[in-house]
Amino acid sequence: MSLGSILNNASSGLATAQAQLRVVSDNVANVNTKGYVRKIADQQSLTSQGVGSGVELGRVRLATDRFLQAASLSANADAGRYAARSELYDRIQTQFGDPGSTTGFFSSIDGMFAAFATIAEDASSSPRRQEALFKAEALFEEAARVTGQIQATREDADGRIGTAVERVNGLLRDIDALNVEISRATALNADSSGAQGAQAMLVAELGKFLDVRSTGTGNGGISLRTGGGALLVGPGAATLEYQRAGKVTPETVFSEVLITEPGGQIRPLTDLITTGEIKGLLELRDVDAPETAERLAELLTHVADELNRAHNAHSAVPAPAVLTGRNIGQSLEAALGGFTGSTTVAITNPAGLVQARADIVFSGSTLTINGNAATPANFLTVLNAQLGASGTASFNNGVLSIAATGGNGVAIGDDPANPSKNGAGRGFSHFFGLNDLIQSDRPALYETGLSGASPHGFTAGETVRFRLSDDRGSKLRDVTFTVPAGATVNDLRAALNDPITGIGRYGSFSLSSAGELTFQGNGDPAPTLKTLDDQTAQVPSGVSFTQLFGVGAGIRASRADSFSVRSDVRQNPAKLALAQFDLTAAVGSRGLLSGDGRGATALADAGNRATAFQAAGGARSSTQTVSRYAAELSGAIGGKAASAKSRADSAEAIRTEATARQTAFEGVNLDEELVLLTTYQQAFNASARLIQASRELYDILLGMI
């Protein structure tokens, strides 16, 4: 071997050792840099005409393991998903308070019923009445606050989705830009490890928001896809689009998160992701929170309804001068056509003496008032004739009202042997809400009592726009339904179920014996129905189709913040209906007795009366007491919060382990780097000594000349 060859070998070794030392120095300098991936410099021998001519640095690469990287990305996405759900659901659960304390929301329900029970011990006690009314008002005010906080949590989740979309777009652009830089460096045989390291950290951050699958490309870059196959990066970057909803209510219909892939194809993102923070936020916003709100509304509706059932069966003493009902969302004729049994409308003076009475016997399309034949169509005329100058009844805009004259009052009582009731099981006064204790500013009871042959009251040609969504929240189809020419509820239902002009392709509407119209989607999981716009107005009430029947996701949950104690009773506890009208009292006899506290007992027992709860928030329909339903809801909320926390903790533990294993392989180990540092220092010194020896040989040869 010539001295020139020896010198070339030594020079290449010196340069290579120096480059290796720079790589080791970079590794040591970034030992505490989060996400830094250790560099490895590959070196290879040089040959010339089959003879070794030194060594050179091949390329600088990252010490990555694609299996560990995939496991880490998956664990990171799961942790982001469950952490988001746990954090926000814990906020919801906190609003209800400790279920075991006396100050929690669910405890206040039992406290209210207990307060009504104390009135029965002394029905004339104003402080006891005031205390019970205060607790009832506090319960519904707290329910409105909790409902507002649930929607605020959904609004927060929606805002975080928008923020996450913006960050994901930035990450995708940066990752794609680094792909270009890495490709350029690879083509020039330059060091691209810095760009690759920066890219790896961006991919790790992206994996928090989405489930990401990474594959290498031939030019040193990467291609990214979601778990559902949507192309995120390579070549080019995808773009996510989302429009925040703003103020969120139970009836808010959110826009979809859309992804425009590098090729230009636009698809809903929810169909293409299985985990990640965005997935968790969508689940909380569209599933967990709405289910809780819907079950809470169902509970409060029946608390109010059972209190009203008891209150309508009794009367204040003296009786109120006017009883004004609620908007029933249908015509008087349609409502009366479903009644059977007997009820009595009485006019009493301040002392409780009966001035006039009308005994009504219902029998579907026919009825009698004080033995005089009547029909639903002339009901008001015959009733007013029987009340004479003592009182008048009227029906306007869906509201029935009965007023007494001459300083007298109105009391209503049902025959205990044959009480009045309609298809929904509510008595005459209860159904019309004539003496409700708890009022609502919107329809809250969807058991209308209507039959298939009943007139629906909507005008032909009016429209409702529905959106059908799958279980992931993605839009299946928007349908515009038009009210048909047919006037009956059966005509309305048939048009809704039409597979061409209605929603029959995706599910069907059915009418229960109580007059409740419900939608059941086809398939498993079944699609959900949301209302985008409702331009209908029932005649004469003005109530829309979706309000009357509670159709569409969110409409039922919106009831929860609508209840309050009737203002005149709240201001004057003496108007609390505690006395029971004596049905045997003839005109001139005492029908109401001051000090009668049977109404207080009925109000206290309202929580223990079995009632039919509708399917709500993932819970099936059932018949149970209000108190039992409240206990089950409390347990369900606590159980879901605990489950979400457990999943979040488990996902975090898995992420910690996956990250630790990835870091152990890809991270910097100072002991290993010290060994490499010593090795390359020795290689550097050996090459330097070889150069020195070559120099000395040259000097000897030159001296010999």
Unique residue bearing structure tokens 């008891």: 310
Q: How is the beta sheet containing 354-363 ordered, strand by strand?
A: 372-374, 366-369, 354-363, 340-348, 409-414
Q: In this structure, which amino acid lies at residue 141? A: E
From 42-51, 64-73, 264-273, 649-658, the region with the lowest mean pLDDT: 42-51
CA pair distance 684, 18, nearest whole angstrom:
7
CA pair distance 491, 370, nearest whole angstrom:
36
Residue that wins the pLDDT comparison between 15 and 231: 231
**Mean pLDDT for the stretch of residues 75-92:** 94
pLDDT (tens digit per residue) in 150-189: 999 999 999 999 999 999 999 999 999 998 988 888 777 7
Contact between residue 614 and residue 298 where contact means Cβ atoms under 8 Å apart: yes
Rounded to 10 deg, the angle between the 289-312 and 626-666 helix axes is 170
Is the confidence at residue 63, as pLDDT, over 80? no
Is the confidence at residue 101, as pLDDT, over 90? no
Contact between residue 562 and residue 440 where contact means Cβ atoms under 8 Å apart: yes
Pairing of strands 438-440, 354-363: unpaired
Pairing of strands 611-613, 622-624: antiparallel
| Whole-number pLDDT of residue 56 | 72
Number of separate helices (H) and strands (E) present in the chain: 16, 25
Is the confidence at residue 645, as pLDDT, over 90? yes
**What is the value of pTM for the model shown?**
0.89
| Whole-number pLDDT of residue 513 | 92
| Whole-number pLDDT of residue 55 | 77
| Whole-number pLDDT of residue 382 | 97
Contact between residue 372 and residue 384 where contact means Cβ atoms under 8 Å apart: no
Split at pLDDT 50, 70, 90, the class of 665 is confident
Is the confidence at residue 399, as pLDDT, over 90? yes
Is the confidence at residue 530, as pLDDT, over 60? yes
| Whole-number pLDDT of residue 246 | 87
Residue that wins the pLDDT comparison between 59 and 646: 646
Nearest to 475 by CA among 628, 270, 283, 671: 270
Give the single-character DSSP code of 425: S
Is the confidence at residue 501, as pLDDT, over 80? yes
Is the confidence at residue 569, as pLDDT, over 90? yes
Which stretches within 188-264 are classed as H helix? Answer: 193-209
Is the confidence at residue 31, as pLDDT, over 70? yes
Is the confidence at residue 195, as pLDDT, over 90? no
CA pair distance 141, 563, nearest whole angstrom:
8
**Mean pLDDT for the stretch of residues 27-44:** 77
pLDDT (tens digit per residue) in 309-359: 999 999 999 999 999 999 999 999 999 999 999 999 999 999 999 999 999
Tell me the torsion sign for CA atoms 522, 523, 528, 533.
negative
pLDDT (tens digit per residue) in 407-425: 999 999 999 999 999 989 9
Split at pLDDT 50, 70, 90, the class of 267 is very high
Contact between residue 157 and residue 283 where contact means Cβ atoms under 8 Å apart: no
Residue that wins the pLDDT comparison between 458 and 10: 458
Is the confidence at residue 1, as pLDDT, over 60? no
Residue that wins the pLDDT comparison between 685 and 3: 685
**Mean pLDDT for the stretch of residues 514-539:** 92
From 368-377, 459-468, 684-693, the region with the lowest mean pLDDT: 684-693
| Whole-number pLDDT of residue 257 | 94
Is the confidence at residue 514, as pLDDT, over 90? yes
| Whole-number pLDDT of residue 49 | 66
CA pair distance 419, 342, nearest whole angstrom:
5
Residue that wins the pLDDT comparison between 513 and 475: 513
**Mean pLDDT for the stretch of residues 362-387:** 94
pLDDT (tens digit per residue) in 232-248: 998 899 999 999 998 99
CA pair distance 278, 208, nearest whole angstrom:
9
CA pair distance 193, 491, nearest whole angstrom:
71
| Whole-number pLDDT of residue 51 | 67
Q: What angle do CA 666, 667, 669 make, to 5 degrees?
A: 120
Is the confidence at residue 379, as pLDDT, over 90? yes
Is the confidence at residue 52, as pLDDT, over 60? yes
| Whole-number pLDDT of residue 50 | 65
**Mean pLDDT for the stretch of residues 254-279:** 92
Pairing of strands 409-414, 340-348: antiparallel
